Structure 1
Amino acid sequence: MVHRVAVIGAGPSGLASIKACPDEGMVPTCFECTIHLGGLWRFKEVSEPNRASIYHSLTINASKEMMCYSDFPIPADYPNYMHHSKILKHLKLLKQYLQTNLLYCRPDFSRTGQWEVVTENRDGQEQRHVFDAVICCSGHYTYPNLPLKDFPGTDTFNVNVTQILQSDAGAER
């Protein structure tokens, strides 16, 4: 049974994962590389390196009823099709995240069946953590890190995973 779960990313998918884990008997710890939650919904005048940004006047094209969590509704006084600032304000109400920078995450399946997660705190000190599972919610608007050499057998896999992932990442830019 999986108990401790590392959730990588505090955007909408990471927050949804954090919210769902306790219902499944899992204890989540979220790692976010910025000091903010909300992921793409946090507008930035100047985009951060290797990250996309929404535009200042963006309004969502899905209704708030379709976008909200089933047990965490968006306030009734919010417009049906919200400006990005309202979405971020709503997401900030789910403040369960750990402010830290993820350095790397690697499986230790052969020995323990768990994951080693190494982080760096604000003071630059590395910390090692062990988790039973990892949920990667780093978003699809960042450049991928493909540590395929860490997964035995990828070189003999029938499909060239690297080319597919790189071409998908290039198409999104």
Structure 2
Amino acid sequence: MKNSELDKNKFISSIIDSIKMNVNDFMQNLANGEKYETTIYEWSINLFKEGKSIDDAIKVIHEKRMLIIFNSSYISSTREELITARNRQRIMTELNSQPIYINLNEKQKASIQKNIDVLVESKLRTHSTIIKLVLELIKQNITSKKWNTNVTEKSRNKIDPDDNESTFLSKFKNYLNPKIMLNETLLPSS
């Protein structure tokens, strides 16, 4: 090997060590085309060609890694918000085509919307499952005449046994309990 090739290998090894990776694992992942390792390798080669010292290169790579980490979390949270908004929109579009929902008064629709928001935010159910649950509960409330046309605004923290919203959510509890028990089985609390 040429002297510059040895220097390049030492340069890259030092950078790999600085990011707390095993050189062999890094090279295997690089050979497999893993994006993270490929990016680090390309940055390292470019910095080597620029004539940067090992310490300067390590500093630059750590700064670039942090920028990507922070930007990636921002992008993913924005993406999550978009997915949630899209699911909410799909649910409302489909509900607005259902006669049983269309015939509700504005207060009842507002009550339903709050409950849909809770279910969408929980990310425990798909939009089609949420629609089925909402339609089933609307039917139950209408047929059992439990639905009071004078739905009042209640605090989310207050639990009132005569509250239609609490009744609505308590019916969802039966659907959520099996998932909660499964999580407790898989991840027992200490």
Q: TM-score range by the shorter chain?
A: under 0.3
TM-score using structure 1 length: 0.23
Pick the structure with more strand per residue.
Answer: 1
Q: Comparing both chains, which one has the higher relative contact order based on Cα–Cα distances under 8 Å and sequence gaps of 6 or more?
A: 1
> Quick check: which has more Rg, 1 or 2?
2
Pick the structure with more helix per residue.
Answer: 2
